[in-house]
A and B are shown apart, each in its own frame.
Chain A
């Protein structure tokens, strides 16, 4: 086939656990095939080699929590043709967005002896609050197969096929009996976007919302059902206030159950 142009892929990290970018290294069966097709131009977790931009596709992990990072994301946007955010931190602010419901000054003094050294913003915000984002890949962590689908789609110039429907659909597809109906286990599946293949219900536990709100979620109706299971207001608040706490539908649902 001769020499062909290899698109340049960059991976960027903001406040996060590294798990979503690790998903790329966890694609053990596909990794070498992927690197045949693309040039990994900036991926510090895996390589010392850094190739200058502009980049064809940038994958951005993590949320914005410092003023320095709020600047840095603009530079990355400017050097990226396509910018895709990966994981709950980048799409919704992540678990560290729990600070958004509290006073960050209190948080600093709980964790650090000299809080004045800590450079942090009062809120942890998703990337889309700062720059234009071409696509959001959900999950805490993201799914391997969705990541492969996404990279393949952008390399061939089409939209990724990532369905926005609920986890319930995946349970039905798998043939998993509904944990909420059959055993009364509270489950966020009805309001959560699919992508995990309805993992938790298949292990006899309720969904805890890793993939964030589905399109048009009815959190009020689900809250009524939770009350019937004798969940306290505080427990309902905590259920919505997880890894996607700052995604708007979940945020509103948790705030509705604030004391």
Chain B
């Protein structure tokens, strides 16, 4: 079997519509494509002419899985354009709601989208037939993430309480208190989840990635910090477009983000972990060690363990914020529009999400650029596919196909996010 094709027309257990295609000739991989056929929705176009205060509500609709990420990148960009810094408890509450989104999204991915691959099930509902307690516990943990988002944001999907300058309403200490009790259970369960993920069978694969994430001197990153890489890069977010570009690759169906100096790069949990390990709290470091992780990890399949470790971090961080919380005097700071450009770069559960806006003195958006994590990971997903198939060329077709799907799902790709910015060309056979 020298020539073969691995083809998945509609990739399951990812957010959005995509497929994959790998061609092998004479035992050599000649083509590896992660195809996206999600229809474009033109957010960057219709944001023009909207008021700067509308950006968080509108951009949330790019993705139902990670709306907080879109809201956070947009509010930080607008605040920078208007010369405002949101600090103190309002800043802490923003970290808290991001913790909620990470818990909800990571647990969804770990148990419902990714674990079935390792365990040989089609989905989590099948897992529930054999191991009901595992799935019930996962749903309960996921729900605690959603509870944080719903309490602070008003609802789990497309929260309504985030605004440029802060929040419409902030919770009282008493409102937050019940969350602390739930989070204590969640922290233990997240630690148990890390242990569980470490028992999964991992295909052998180590790659020399260039990892890119934001990085803050004192904290594991959410909303602030420079953009750094594992290959000599340390820039402010304002400098993003001087170092990164979206490229049109020949015969490719989509725009790929590359670092101008070095090419493809990897964003997401693995990148954050490798670049910010020392800023994890001890409890997360211990969970990582217990799960057999070193301070670096370059096996993309093990991203499932790293997601669990980040869930431990998010539960711990949420507890810390709630314990130290004092209700701020006002729910938001006043932000007056100012003509200028603002950049926002925050860490969505699946990786760095960059926004740039130019607004006029009345606050009307003149220009918007949005670079979601999945479009940044596309090139690396394709090279992982090529690498994986060339190492496993002897596998039977159905197993190879399933594992290729798993290679893509390692990145928890959010196609709904990425497609609105990607070059799109439907190939029909």
A117 touches B46 (CB 8 A): no
A45 touches B15 (CB 8 A): yes
B421 touches A95 (CB 8 A): no
Question: Bound complex: CA of A120 vs CA of B146, how far in Å?
Answer: 35
Q: Which residues of B contact A99 (CB under 8 A)?
A: 42, 45-46
Given known A-B contacts A18-B416, A19-B67, A238-B51, A44 and B40 have beta carbons under 8 A apart: no
The one of B38, B108, B122 that contacts A25, using a Cβ cutoff of 8 Å: B108
Return A179 CB to nearest CB of chain B, in Å: 10
Query: In the complex, which residues 48-105 of chain B have their Cβ closer than 8 Å to any Cβ of chain A?
Result: 48, 50-51, 54, 57-58, 61-65, 67
B12 touches A113 (CB 8 A): no
Return B409 CB to nearest CB of chain A, in Å: 10
Question: Bound complex: CA of A39 vs CA of B152, how far in Å?
Answer: 35
Question: Bound complex: CA of A94 vs CA of B10, how far in Å?
Answer: 24
Q: Which residues of B contact A111 (CB under 8 A)?
A: 40, 42-45, 420-421
Q: Which residues of B contact A96 (CB under 8 A)?
A: 41-42, 46
> For residue A68, which residue of chain B has the nearest CB?
B426
User: What band does the interface of chain B fall in when counting residues whose beta carbon is under 8 Å from A?
Assistant: 35 or more
B139 within 8 A of A: yes
Return A47 CB to nearest CB of chain B, in Å: 3
The one of A47, A106, A114, A208 that contacts B122, using a Cβ cutoff of 8 Å: A47
A120 touches B128 (CB 8 A): no
Q: Mark B367-383, 1 if CB is under 8 A from A, else 0.
A: 00000000000000000
B123 touches A49 (CB 8 A): yes
A110 within 8 A of B: yes
Q: Mark B121-142, 1 if CB is under 8 A from A, else 0.
A: 0111110100010011001101
Q: Which residues of B contact A102 (CB under 8 A)?
A: 45-46
Q: Which residues of B contact A114 (CB under 8 A)?
A: 248, 423
Question: Bound complex: CA of A33 vs CA of B10, how far in Å?
Answer: 28
Question: Bound complex: CA of A76 vs CA of B58, how far in Å?
Answer: 29
The one of A14, A17, A47, A69 that contacts B64, using a Cβ cutoff of 8 Å: A17
**Interface window among A157-165, A166-174, A195-203, A249-257:** A195-203
The one of A18, A28, A120, A196 that contacts B63, using a Cβ cutoff of 8 Å: A18
Where the two chains meet, the residues of B that have a C-beta atom closer than 8 Å to any C-beta of A are 10-17, 38-46, 48, 50-51, 54, 57-58, 61-65, 67, 108, 112-113, 116, 122-126, 128, 132, 135-136, 139-140, 142-143, 146, 154-158, 160-161, 163, 168-169, 248, 255, 331, 405, 414, 416, 420-421, 423-426
Extra pairs beyond A32-B136, A199-B154, A238-B51 (12, CB < 8 Å) = A17-B61, A19-B61, A45-B12, A47-B126, A94-B41, A107-B45, A111-B43, A112-B423, A113-B255, A119-B424, A120-B39, A205-B161
Q: Which residues of B contact A113 (CB under 8 A)?
A: 248, 255, 423
Q: Mark A33-51, 1 if CB is under 8 A from B, else 0.
A: 0010000100011111100
Q: Which residues of A contact B255 (CB under 8 A)?
A: 113
> For residue A64, which residue of chain B has the nearest CB?
B39
Across the A-B interface, the 6 shortest Cβ-Cβ residue pairs: A19-B64, A47-B123, A107-B45, A49-B122, A98-B46, A96-B41
Question: Bound complex: CA of A108 vs CA of B168, how far in Å?
Answer: 35
Q: How many A-B residue pairs have CB under 8 A?
A: 182
Given known A-B contacts A40-B125, A95-B46, A15 and B15 have beta carbons under 8 A apart: no
Given known A-B contacts A95-B41, A99-B46, A140 and B160 have beta carbons under 8 A apart: no
A95 touches B423 (CB 8 A): no
A31 within 8 A of B: yes
B160 touches A28 (CB 8 A): no
Q: Which residues of B contact A110 (CB under 8 A)?
A: 42, 44-45, 48
Return A200 CB to nearest CB of chain B, in Å: 5
Return A229 CB to nearest CB of chain B, in Å: 15
Return B424 CB to nearest CB of chain A, in Å: 6
A-B contact pairs, 13 of them (CB 8 A): A16-B64, A17-B61, A18-B65, A26-B146, A31-B139, A32-B136, A45-B13, A46-B112, A46-B123, A95-B43, A96-B41, A110-B45, A118-B40
Return B368 CB to nearest CB of chain A, in Å: 9
A20 within 8 A of B: yes
Given known A-B contacts A69-B39, A203-B160, A47 and B51 have beta carbons under 8 A apart: no
Q: Which residues of A contact B38 (CB under 8 A)?
A: 15
A26 touches B13 (CB 8 A): no
A95 touches B58 (CB 8 A): yes
Question: Bound complex: CA of A112 vs CA of B48, how far in Å?
Answer: 15
Q: Mark A59-72, 1 if CB is under 8 A from B, else 0.
A: 00000011011000
A18 touches B15 (CB 8 A): yes
Q: Which residues of A contact B248 (CB under 8 A)?
A: 113-114
Q: Mark A198-224, 1 if CB is under 8 A from B, else 0.
A: 011011110010100000000000000
Q: Mark A175-207, 1 if CB is under 8 A from B, else 0.
A: 000000000000000000000100110111100
Q: Which residues of A contact B158 (CB under 8 A)?
A: 19, 140-141, 210
Return B355 CB to nearest CB of chain A, in Å: 14
Question: Bound complex: CA of A111 vs CA of B43, how far in Å?
Answer: 8
A119 touches B154 (CB 8 A): no
> For residue B155, which residue of chain A has the nearest CB?
A199
A235 touches B13 (CB 8 A): no
Question: Bound complex: CA of A15 vs CA of B168, how far in Å?
Answer: 30
Q: Which residues of B contact A199 (CB under 8 A)?
A: 154-155, 160
Q: Which residues of A contact B154 (CB under 8 A)?
A: 199-200, 202-203
Return B111 CB to nearest CB of chain A, in Å: 11
Q: Which residues of B contact A18 (CB under 8 A)?
A: 15-16, 63-65, 414, 416
Q: Which residues of A contact B51 (CB under 8 A)?
A: 235, 238
| Residue of B40, B43, B142, B331 most packed against chain A (CB within 10 A) | B40
Return B42 CB to nearest CB of chain A, in Å: 4
